[in-house]
Every structure is written in structure tokens, then in C-alpha cells.
Structure 1
Amino acid sequence: MAIISQASGQTLPFHAFLSHNSKSKPAVRELKVHLVEAELNVWFDEDELRPGIPWQELLEAGIRDSSSVVVAVGPDGFGPWEDEEMQGALRLAVKDRRPVIPVLLPGCPEVPNLPMFLGNRTWVDLRNGFTDDGLAKLLWGITGKKPRRVPDTKEKKKRHLVQEEKNEEPENFHRRKPDVRSWALNEVLPGAWQVQIQLPHPAGVMGQLQLEVFAHGMFRGTLMTPMGLTTIEGQWQANPAMNQLGFQGMQSNGFQTIPYGVIIQVTFFNQQQIVGVTNVGEQVTFNRSSPPLTPPQFPQ
């Protein structure tokens, strides 16, 4: 059965690609059974890796042929090739807005160590087993169809009491208050910026970046250094716990396109300026700009 991807409109053969650490294979097998019982087509390596064919190519094809990617996280965390799968999944998420769904398996730590660009996505918690509620949320993430759930008697009573005491709508009961730092960065960052970059090598070399940041989590920009012009685009997020900004996507110099990623430790910000240091030691200063932006010029 072919699946129409809600994000891209493409006709794809699989609802979900199961990305996992091989040490979590037994739990992932069980998860696959539940998804198949829900009449989903699932890409699972044991079923799809054809003997004699380079398996890296088959993994990449499996991700391309799936309308969503389920990243299963068990007690042993991520495997080395699962990181590669996740990079491919995130590139598709940037390009086609496909869901990438973290799933916490039984035995996963109470505070999972998720990478930045996975941690900002709503996860599905199956640490207490493959419950109906947990599986329903996962099916929602994969298919985009929200399940209709009728609360039990105790839950109805609890929500009714909270509504009387706080005068809140029932659906607002479980909402968490956003982290102040995360909300501040999320509010400040969208817009147009002229970014000065002090490159660590060679010493003293400066780069300039014209950057457009969009509130829905995407960005695009043009980076100019004495070595040439590079275009970048992808996805951004603010890390609430670490006061960081992360940018991940693709970069192209006109000859080749390769993955792009940087994490910025923010040391100061307001509505007009953001200052920080990247994970590779670059000093960066964002200055608010009003479109249209003028391309940076370098002396000959």
C-alpha cells in the first residue's frame, strides 16, 4: 500500500522508518509488531536489508521512502550508525517537513540524553511499556491523525476539580510553562541579521553572514569569507537548559552540498544584538538588520 506523505505530497511505500541501536533490537521488534498491527507499513532493517547490497545505501533509501522516522532510544542510547540515520532524517525534515519522532523505550534513563535537534521534538514515552496511550501518541506522530481518547472517570473528576479551582479549560491542564530563557531567545531570534564571525583559523580572518531566521524554526543565509561564498539553510532551535542556539541543515558553495551544523553558546542578547561563541571557537555577533540586506564586501 502506497502512502501519501502529508509533508511533501509524495507517494511513499512506508509509513515509518525504525532507527535504533542494535542493542535495543528486542524492544524495537516488539514496537514493530504493534505498528504492523495498526496496519502501518514499517521499514525495519531485518526485513529490508537485502544480502549483497551495501547496507548504508539501503538505509538512506529506506529513510527517503518513509513518510516519518521513528528514532528509538533505549538504555544503551544511540549506535554509531544511528547517528548517520538521524542526520539523514533531519535533512529530510528540513527539506520536506517530515516528522522525526523520538521514542523512549523501556529502560531508557529518566532524563534521556537526546541530541539538540532531537531534544526539541515532542517524544513518545514508552518507558513503562507499550501502553495504549503511548502507542496512540506514536500513531498520531506517524500518521498525523490525532486519536480520539475518552478520559476515565478519575481523570474526568480530576480535570473538573482543576477547572473549578483555576477556571481553566480541561485541555490546558497538562500544559507546561515554557522556560524563560528559551522563550526569550525564541522571541528575539526571528528576523534579519548581519552576523560578524571571527574565524579561529587563520587568526584574524573575518566572515560575514546575511541571515534570515523564521519563527517556525527554519533559517537561510549567505556566508561570505575571503575563501568564497556559501549558502546555508536548515533548522534552528533554542536550548532552554544550556542557553544555546543551534543551527543545522545544508551548505553549498556552488560545487558541492554538505551537511552544516553549529551550536552557539550565547553570552549576551537583547532585541538588537546577540553575542556568543560557537562549538568550534568562533566569536559571533548578531546585529539586527532591516531587509533587504546588502551583500558583504571584502577588499581585493
Structure 2
Amino acid sequence: MRAFVSHNHKDKPAVRSFATKLRLGGVDTWLDEWELSPGDSIPGKVGVALDTVDTVLVCWSKHASTSEWVKSELETAIIRRLEDGLRIIPVRLDDTPLPALLRPLYWVSVTEDDDQTAVNKILGVDTTGFLQGVQQLLDEATIEAVSFHGAGVYVICPNCGAPPAKLEQWGATDYDRGDHYAGVRCTECRWEEGGEV
């Protein structure tokens, strides 16, 4: 699947997380901030993308409902749907009613605490299937992922972008309280994350 993610910039944090999970699940995902470079023609690049994808994910929200960009992308997608069967998937970000032309379509919902369910529905997999896709992507891309007790899995320092070789595990104990703490820190920028374990 090659999918274009139509959205309003005010919804970027939720859309970025959702699109990232789609990409990790194996979807060739077109998101503006990943595809556009300074000096690019935005209408030109968007137009080419909308001509070449097989799916358009319309991220619908209060912000999207008043966006001329989203309206234009939706019109283009509907024309392609009528001409060559382009798949359009409404993705609800809030309870804003869908426009009339999207209402008959099966939609998914992305909430603040759950976008994985929507991703799984789009991919037609359960969580295990999604994780198998992620593992395959990591294997093919030779991405090194390192797990740190108390902090989770990292492929880079989220602060400065340093590689996993620059990340180190840390641990501490509060003997008076009997509490144990663990996490990860970057040897480049000194960023750290973790907590009680």
C-alpha cells in the first residue's frame, strides 16, 4: 500500500504518530514533512503524490473541516476514486462529523491514547502481525534498536539523534526507601530518560 496522509497542520502531532506506525507496519506512507524539502513546490509534490498513491487517508477533525488544503486533497481523491477506484479511508481524529461524501465509507478512529487499533485495522492485522511487519522493516533496514531497562527501546537519542552506541544504561537505588531507578542517557548531549522500576 502506498498511502497519502491528508491532514491539517494543527493535527500534526497525532498524525505524525499515526503515520509513523503505518510506516513501521510496512505502508509506504507519504507525509508532507517527510517528503518535502526547502524550495520544493508544495502543490507540485502533493499533486504528484496524489496521482501515484493507491490510498488516501483523510485525517478528519475540527481543523481539517475548515482547511482549504484538506478540501482540495479530498476533491482530488474523490475524482481518482471515481476514475480508477482509489481507496479513501476516513481517519477520525475527533467527533467532527464526516462530510457527506465520506460518510458511506468505513472509517477508523485515532484517539489520544490509541492509534495502534486504527493502524491494525488499515493493515488488516492484529498486534502480532503489526510487530512482525516492524521486525521485517528493522531487519531489512539494518536499524539497530536497543532496549534499556526502565526506559524502553531506542534507535537514536530523541534529543540529538546520536546512534545507539552513544546511549548507555543507568541505574540508582534509594536505600532509605528501598526504591530502584533505571533508564538511558546519551553520552553526547546528556539527555536522559527513566524512572522507578
Asked if these proteins are the same fold (TM beyond 0.5), I'd say yes
Q: Which residue of 93, 97, 105 maps to 2:81?
A: 93
1:51 maps to amino acid:
P
Query: Does 1:136 find its partner at 2:124?
Result: no
8 Å contact from structure 1 (residues 31, 130) kept in 2: no
**2:149 alignment partner in structure 1:** none
1:122 maps to amino acid:
Y
**1:116 alignment partner in structure 2:** 100
Whichever of the two has the greater Rg, that structure is 1
TM-aligned CA deviation for residue 52 of structure 1: 2.4
8 Å contact from structure 2 (residues 120, 126) kept in 1: no
8 Å contact from structure 1 (residues 20, 71) kept in 2: yes
Deviations 1:253-293 (A, max 9, x none): xxxxxxxxxxxxxxxxxxxxxxxxxxxxxxxxxxxxxxxxx
TM-aligned CA deviation for residue 24 of structure 1: 0.3
Consecutive aligned runs of 4 or more in structure 1 exceeding 3 Å deviation:
147-150
**1:30 alignment partner in structure 2:** 17
8 Å contact from structure 1 (residues 19, 70) kept in 2: yes
**Aligned with 1:117: secondary structure?**
coil
TM-aligned CA deviation for residue 119 of structure 1: 1.4
8 Å contact from structure 2 (residues 120, 127) kept in 1: no
2:68 maps to amino acid:
P
8 Å contact from structure 1 (residues 126, 134) kept in 2: yes
TM-aligned CA deviation for residue 75 of structure 1: 4.0
**1:102 alignment partner in structure 2:** 90
**Aligned with 1:39: secondary structure?**
coil
CA distance in 2, matches of 1:65, 1:48: 14
CA distance in 1, matches of 2:19, 2:79: 24
Listed as ranges, the gaps of 5+ residues in structure 2 are: 129-197
1:116 maps to amino acid:
A
TM-aligned CA deviation for residue 94 of structure 1: 0.7
TM-aligned CA deviation for residue 93 of structure 1: 0.7
8 Å contact from structure 1 (residues 69, 99) kept in 2: yes
**Aligned with 1:52: secondary structure?**
coil
8 Å contact from structure 1 (residues 19, 69) kept in 2: yes
CA distance in 1, matches of 2:87, 2:114: 20
- TM-score, normalization by structure 1: 0.39
Distance 1:117 1:55, change over 3 A: same
Quote the sequence identity (%): 28
Deviations 1:102-156 (A, max 9, x none): 1012xx12xx32211111111101236335432211223xxxxxx3699xxxxxx
1:92 maps to amino acid:
R
**1:77 alignment partner in structure 2:** 64
Within 5 Å, give how 1:140-289 maps onto structure 2.
140=124, 147=125
**Aligned with 2:101: secondary structure?**
helix
**1:17 alignment partner in structure 2:** 4
8 Å contact from structure 1 (residues 17, 44) kept in 2: yes
Distance 1:116 1:18, change over 3 A: same
Higher relative contact order (CA 8 A, sep 6+): 2
**Aligned with 1:122: secondary structure?**
coil
1:40 maps to amino acid:
V
CA distance in 1, matches of 2:12, 2:112: 17
CA distance in 1, matches of 2:98, 2:62: 12
1:24 maps to amino acid:
D
